[in-house]
Structure 1
Amino acid sequence: MKAAHLRLAVVVIAVLVLAGGSLGYVWHARHRERPPQQAAADGSFTLDEPGLYFRDSATGRVARLPARGAPRVTGGPSCDRFYAAGERALCLRRLPGLPARTRALVLDRRLREVRGVTVPGIPNRARVSASGHLLSWTAFAVGDSYATSGFSTRTSVLDLRTGYLIKSIEDIPLTIGGARHHAPDVNYWGVTFARDDNRFYATVSTRGRTHLVEGDLRDWSAKALRENVECPSLSPDNTRIAFKKKVSDDPRAPWRLYVLDLAGMREHPLAESHSVDDQAAWLDDSTVGYALPGREGRTSDIWSVPADGTGEPRLLAAGGSSPVAVR
Structure 2
Amino acid sequence: MTHTLTLRTRVGAVALAAVVLAALAVVYTVRATDRGTTPAGASGVTLDNTPGLYVRTADGTIAALAGSERKPTGLSCRRFYAGAAKSVCLTTKPGVPPRSQAVILDRTLKPQRIVTFGGTPNRARVSPSGRMVSWTVFVSGDSYAGNAFSTRSGILDTQTGYLIKNVETLQLTLDGRRYSASDVNYWGITFAADDNRFYATVSTRGKTYLVEGDLRAWTARTLRENVECPSLSPDGTRIAYKKRVRKGTSDPWRLHVLDLKTLRDTPLAEPRSVDDQAAWLNDKTLAYALPGSAQGSSDIWSVRADGSGQPKRVARDASSPSMNPGEGTRRGQGGVGAR
TM-score by length of 1: 0.86
Gaps (5+ residues) in structure 2? 1-31, 326-339
Counterpart of 1:194 in structure 2 is 192
In structure 2, the residue matched to 1:118 is 116
8 Å CA contact 1:298, 1:319 repeated in 2: no
2: CA distance, partners of 1:190 / 1:100: 22
* Aligned mates of 2:56, 2:129 — CA distance in 1: 22
User: Deviations for 1:260-313, whole angstroms, at most 9, x for unmatched residues?
Assistant: 000100001001111000000000000000001111345111000000000011
The corresponding residue for 1:15 is none
Deviation at 1:325, TM superposition (A): 1.4
List aligned pairs for 1:122-271, cutoff 5 A: 122-271=120-269
Is the alpha carbon distance of 1:322 and 1:158 closer, same or farther for their aligned partners in structure 2, counting shifts above 3 Å?
Answer: same
For 2:37 and 2:232, locate their aligned partners in 1 and report how far apart those are by CA, in whole Å. Answer: 31
Structure 1 partner of 2:103: 105
How far the C-alpha of 1:39 sits from its partner, in A, is 5.1
Aligned-residue offset at 1:100: 3.0
Which of 94, 97, 105 does residue 96 from structure 1 map onto?
A: 94
- Whether contact under 8 Å (1:53, 1:64) holds in the other structure is yes
Secondary structure, counterpart of 2:71 in structure 1: coil
* 1:230-271 Cα deviation digits (max 9, x unpaired): 000000000000000001113310100000000100001001
Closer, same or farther: CA 119–251 of 1 in aligned 2, 3 Å: farther
SS state of the match for residue 170, structure 1? helix
Which shows bigger deviation, 46-55 or 204-213? 46-55
Q: Which moved more, 1:151-160 or 1:94-103?
A: 94-103
The aligned residue for residue 7 of structure 1 is none
Q: Write the distance in 2 (CA, Å) between the matches of 1:285 and 1:180.
A: 34
Corresponding residue of 1:81? 79
Letter in structure 2 aligned against 1:66: A
Aligned residues: 290
Aligned equivalents of 2:309, 2:299: Cα separation in 1: 19
Report 1:258-297 matches (<5 A): 258-297=256-295
CA deviations over 1:90-143 (Å, ceiling 9, x no partner)? 000012233232110000111100000001000000000000000000011111
The structural deviation recorded for 1:40 is 2.1
Partner of 1:11: none
8 Å CA contact 1:139–1:155 kept in 2: the answer is: yes
Instruction: Give 3-state SS (helix, strand or coil) of 1:90's partner.
Output: strand
Aligned-partner Cα distance in 2 for 1:231–1:93: 20
Q: Percent identity?
A: 57
The alpha carbon displacement at 1:46 in A equals 2.1
Q: Aligned with 2:36: secondary structure?
A: coil
Q: Deviations over 1:42-80 (max 9, x none)?
A: 2223222122101112x211011113xx32122430000
Matched residue SS, 1:147: coil
Q: Equivalent residue of 2:75, what SS?
A: coil
Instruction: Name the SS of the counterpart of 1:284 in structure 2.
Output: coil
The 8 Å contact of residues 245 and 255 in structure 1, kept in 2 or not, is answered as yes
The residue number in structure 2 matching 1:54 is 55
Cα contact 2:37–2:89 (8 A) shared by 1: no
Distance 1:101 1:298 in 2: 23
Normalising by structure 2, what TM-score?
0.83
Residue identity matched to 1:82: F
Q: Measure, in 2, the Cα distance between the counterparts of 1:41 and 1:213.
A: 36
Return 5+ residue gaps in structure 1 as ranges: 1-33
Work out whether residues 37 and 111 of structure 2, in 8 Å CA contact, stay in contact via their aligned partners in 1: no
Partner Cα separation in structure 1 for residue 97 and residue 249 of structure 2: 26
- The equivalent residue for 1:26 is none
Query: 2:318 aligned with 1:317, yes or no?
Result: no
| TM-fit CA distance, 1:321 | 0.8
Q: Deviations over 1:180-215 (max 9, x none)?
A: 111000000000000111000000000110000000
Matched position secondary structure for 1:38: helix
Structure 2 distance, partners of 1:324, 1:160, is 19
> How far 1:161 sits from its partner (Å)?
1.8
